[in-house]
Amino acid sequence: MSKLRIGIIGLGTVGCGVYKTLADFPDIEIVKIAVKNINKPRSVNTPEGMITDNHYEIINDSSIDVLVELIGGVEPAWEYISAAIKNGKHIVTANKELLAKKGEELFNLAEEHNKVCLYEAAIAGGIPIIMPIKTILAGNNINKIQAILNGTTNYILTKMDVDGASYEDVLKEAQELGYAETDPTGDVEGYDAAYKITTLATLAFKKRVKLENVYREGITKIRKEDMAQANEFGYKIKLIANASIDEDGNADVRVHPMLVSNDTTLAHINYVTNAVAMSGHPIGSIVLSGPGAGEFPTASSVVGDILAIQAEFGTTDYMLPMMRCHHEHRANPVHIDDTYNKYYISITAPNAIGVIAKIGTICASKNISLASILQREVSENNTADIVVITEKCQERLIKEVVSELDNCVVNSLIRVAD
């Protein structure tokens, strides 16, 4: 059998991990690696002439069978991938943003040219999730996903919980350790997790979910006080990528902080670990967890995709049919205001007679029941900290409650996981 010849675009952390891992597979040949800066120091030593800054040396090389794209972002990644498909190459990518924003266009182009596009590394790093959904779980009707898909935010929230530290202090520490970027917006504002849940929900529900219909909220407003109060009620606060679909195809897909019960697995997924919990029939409920990023965990998923292509390369005219995209219908998006949740509300209120009664009255006027209410001792400025957890109610109604809490400061409004 002839070697599978691949070209790699991008030789950063993941690219170096892929290069090192593929050294153990003699039937795969890395022909060329394209980078932006040839002179940048790297953790691998490549043969002379293998690295180029002309990406089209890979794209236009008819002897290369697979393009491995590891640079991220929409452009120029889309330019390179689309050109490579048209030039007869299969694709392996770890690009969650490209999949979320141009996935439909990408898979249609690949199908038009009878090419495979695999992307196991794009959703949960080293956790195998795409191929299991496409193969061993294919007979299931998956209707719910709750996942921790971003290691940076999970690290920050875990440190805030364990150390009792503020968001700002932990973020600075995470940046110094390399867990957070200098500009952490993509992680801490929930963009990264939103990209991932868009593609994951599309796959699991077998209906297209559009990124613009995914509600997104980050962790920047979470306070150390919230972490402590959540613990008292038996919860941990996590950034959860949440997706559910009903029998009519109405999909509620969102990313935001949630109070997660200590009785669940997700509450104990700490630091940079990721996890995906899924429910459906006939499987019931399962949880997959592991490293969501890093050199070798992500390389593991990339190399797995390359080997899947190698296993069928040259043996059939239509490779890996189960791994291809066949989503003909779109999910009906559910607006966040129309969702039903339990809520944690932290309120600073004047220490006056009837304040708690007023909170209860406003909630009752919206048919919202209270599950728990806790008042702290009065502070020096004669205010009291009150924490309320509601029963399940509609989002738009809880917003009306917040707007009617005159003379009160709502410090936090966080949804509570089922």
- DSSP notation for 213-236: GSEE--STT--HHHHHHHHHTTEE
CA atoms within 13 A on the CB side of 68: 34
Q: What is the per-residue pLDDT across 333-384, written as a single tens digit (0 to 9) for each? A: 999 999 999 999 999 998 888 889 999 999 999 999 999 999 877 777 889 8
* DSSP conformational letter for 330: B
Q: Provide the residue ranges of all domains of the chain, joining segments of one domain with +.
A: 4-123+295-323, 130-291, 336-416
Q: Which CATH number fits domain 4-123+295-323: 3.30.390.30, 3.40.50.720, 3.10.20.740, 3.40.640.10?
A: 3.40.50.720
The pLDDT of residue 276 is: 98
Contact 64, 7 (CB under 8 A): yes
- Please identify every stretch of the chain with a pLDDT value under 50, giving residue numbers as ranges: none
The Cα–Cα gap between 16 and 272 comes to 20
The pLDDT of residue 1 is: 57
Contact 372, 353 (CB under 8 A): no
Q: What is the per-residue pLDDT across 73-119, written as a single tens digit (0 to 9) for each? A: 999 999 999 999 999 999 999 999 999 999 999 999 999 999 999 99
Contact 101, 51 (CB under 8 A): no
Q: What is the CATH number of domain 336-416?
A: 3.30.70.260
The pLDDT of residue 351 is: 85
Please state, in angstroms and as integers, the Cα–Cα distance from residue 344 to each residue in 151, 236, 406, 414, 417, following that order: 24, 12, 18, 5, 10
CATH entry 1.25.40.10 includes domain 130-291: no
The pLDDT of residue 193 is: 98
- Packing angle of the helix pair 151-163, 224-232 (nearest 10 deg): 70
User: Which residues are marked as active site?
Assistant: 196
End-to-end CA distance of the chain: 52
The Cα–Cα gap between 118 and 323 comes to 7
The Cα–Cα gap between 116 and 110 comes to 6
Dmax (CA) of the chain:
83
The Cα–Cα gap between 221 and 307 comes to 43
3-state secondary structure string across 369-398: CEEEEEECCCCCCCEEEEEEEECCEEHHHH
Contact 323, 116 (CB under 8 A): yes
The pLDDT of residue 325 is: 87
The pLDDT of residue 337 is: 98
The pLDDT of residue 406 is: 87
